[in-house]
Chains A and B, each alone.
Chain A
Amino acid sequence: MTSSAAGGTAPALTFRAASFGYGGRPAIQGVDGAVMRGEVLALVGPNGAGKSTLLKGIVGEAARLSGDVDLHGLRVRDLAYLPQQPEIDRSFPITAIEFAATGLWRRLGAFGRYRPEHRAEVADALARVGLAALEGSLIGALSGGQMQRLLFARTLLQDAPLILLDEPFTGIDAATEADLLGIVGLWREQGRTVVAALHDLAQVRAAFPRALLVAGRVIAWGDTAAVLTAGNLARANGRELAPPADPAADAALAALGAT
């Protein structure tokens, strides 16, 4: 195992030579290793490195082209996954508290009664993310940061052992970021496994003990200090993600008949 945390814990998520991509073309390949239970792992890498694809691959939203993902008995429905761009219809007329309560869906199903203790649990989740005062607001009336808080409240209610977050702090204000980072800390104390795609390296160094650096493949995986070295980062960034398009050079080559 290339990336086991403190000895003796069981893996929550294992990749075996796994590749994921779109239309048969891999966006990230050869991922090998395990995330241990209770580990809080930062997934870092330049734009287009395949961070989102890796997370989507875990839940089956990006195609697995080869290899294997092992959830160790969990099913996709047991996970919580917060995509980078959620397909949420913000114009749908439900309130923040109703939206948060959908996090109970797996537990309540279509028939389970919504009891007062559920109501209290939802209210508590909203309070934790600082939205108690806005529970009656329509979701369309929330700001971007408030919507992200609401999504964290729903994730809290999902009560999932394995939580996948894709750039959860992008495009939100500093206060919201600090509060939501606190929620990640709470999950860590509760022993949940968290994998979060992030781009703020200072934040990763400060708050995430483990890191996985990718650039179309795994560059480094382990304790954050050992992963985010200047050498590894240069390797990750040096990889050409797409050949730079240079129309002038192309035209010059074409003129020379050297296509």
Chain B
Amino acid sequence: MTEFLLGPFIEFAFMRRALMGCLALSLSAPPIGVFLTLRRMSLMSDAMSHAILPGAAIGFLVSGLSLPAMTIGGLAAGLAVALLSGVVTRATLLKEDASLAAFYLVSIALGVLLVSLRGSSIDLLHILFGTVLALDDAALVLIGAISATTLVWLALAYRPLVIECVDPLFLRLSGRASTVTHLSFLAVVVLNLVGGFQALGTLLAVGIMLLPAVIARFWAATLSGLLPVAVGAAALSSYAGLLLAYHRDLPPGPAIVLTAGVIYAVSILFGRQGGLAWRIRRA
């Protein structure tokens, strides 16, 4: 049993690296996801994750499967979309979510097209679904740095972020923190999506951000409970997903996100907060 549960990680360095990368992401992305879902901005993170695809693809066109090039491309595209959506929302009075949905499909199409110009379909799979079993030192350092930056940012921005969520006018009237908080929040979302993109690919990066957050809603009622539950759910999904991928020879990115999906299904049924089983028992 121990062999089954720990063997792959003891035996293979690439499994340990994959686990480290995913756990680092599990620390930072889910809290961001909690705030995204509470602010009803989940669609926006989804759109941003797709916007990263053409950015990374341009990096790929310029210098092949190179980490710095694709990271810079992804960051630039993600930030551009975040800012652009802000402008579009303000200019057109569309809801932020609606204006972002427009970017969504165009981005995927553009990204796939760009990669296909030069790369093989294997390259395309790498970019879409990540290469968690092939994380090199540079990628691990990048993910670690993103995770650490996010945690420091959360500690600094926690109070204004909470106030901005509950009563934006109150924060706006109490100084300049409002704009800084909102913009830095968008930047941190992009950072985590780019970090997730190294491991899980552009399509699934948003999974480790949002799924744990919606899982947490079924187990905790307060913000201070949601954050640790989301981190725990992400870490569990990472570990179990990698293990599943190893033993069943499955692609690891989808295995991780599917594991989170299973936890989500279980939470819908048995979660303490509004899970079906509890409701039926009470009824």
CB within 8 Å of B: which residues of A? 59-61, 76-77, 79, 81, 83, 86-89, 92-95, 98-99, 102, 105-106, 108-111, 138-139
Known pairs A79-B173, A87-B169, A95-B222; list 19 more (Cβ under 8 Å).
Answer: A60-B173, A77-B173, A81-B173, A88-B166, A89-B165, A89-B166, A89-B167, A92-B166, A93-B38, A93-B223, A93-B226, A98-B162, A102-B159, A102-B167, A105-B160, A110-B159, A110-B160, A110-B177, A138-B221
* Chain A to chain B: the 4 pairs with minimum beta-carbon distance, closest first: A92-B166, A77-B174, A77-B175, A88-B167
Q: Which residue of A lies closest to B158 (CB)?
A: A110
Within 8 A of A (CB), among B114-137: none
Chain B 160-202: CB-based contact to A (< 8 A → 1; otherwise 0)? 1011011111110111010000000000000000000000000
A-B contact number at CB 8 A: 67
CB within 8 Å of A: which residues of B? 38, 156-160, 162-163, 165-171, 173-175, 177, 220-223, 226
Q: Which residues of A lie under 8 Å from residue B165 when comparing CB positions?
A: 89, 92
In contact, A76 and B173 (Cβ under 8 angstroms): yes
CA distance A59 to B177 in the complex (A): 16
Q: Which residue of A lies closest to B172 (CB)?
A: A61
CB contact between B174 and one of A93, A105, A138, A139 (< 8 Å): that residue? A105
In contact, B173 and A94 (Cβ under 8 angstroms): no
Residue of A76, A86, A105 most packed against chain B (CB within 10 A): A105
Separation in Å of the A203 CB from the closest CB of chain B?
26
| 26 A-B pairs with C-beta separation under 8 A | A59-B173, A77-B173, A77-B174, A77-B175, A79-B173, A81-B173, A86-B169, A86-B170, A88-B166, A89-B165, A89-B166, A92-B166, A92-B223, A93-B38, A93-B226, A94-B162, A94-B222, A102-B162, A102-B166, A102-B167, A105-B159, A106-B174, A106-B175, A108-B159, A109-B159, A110-B160
CA distance A51 to B6 in the complex (A): 68
CA distance A79 to B174 in the complex (A): 9
In contact, A111 and B174 (Cβ under 8 angstroms): no
CA distance A91 to B78 in the complex (A): 29
Separation in Å of the A106 CB from the closest CB of chain B?
5
Decide: A102 near B170, CB < 8 A? Known: A93-B221, A138-B222: yes
Q: Which residues of B lie under 8 Å from residue A105 when comparing CB positions?
A: 159-160, 163, 170-171, 174
Q: Which residues of B lie under 8 Å from residue A94 when comparing CB positions?
A: 162, 166, 222-223
CB contact between A99 and one of B159, B166, B169, B220 (< 8 Å): that residue? B166
Separation in Å of the B175 CB from the closest CB of chain A?
5
Q: Which residue of B lies closest to A91 (CB)?
A: B38
Q: Which residues of A lie under 8 Å from residue B174 when comparing CB positions?
A: 77, 105-106
CB contact between B157 and one of A98, A106, A110, A138 (< 8 Å): that residue? A110
Separation in Å of the B163 CB from the closest CB of chain A?
5
CB contact between B163 and one of A93, A102, A111, A139 (< 8 Å): that residue? A102
Separation in Å of the B215 CB from the closest CB of chain A?
15
CA distance A238 to B133 in the complex (A): 78
Residue of B162, B165, B167 most packed against chain A (CB within 10 A): B167
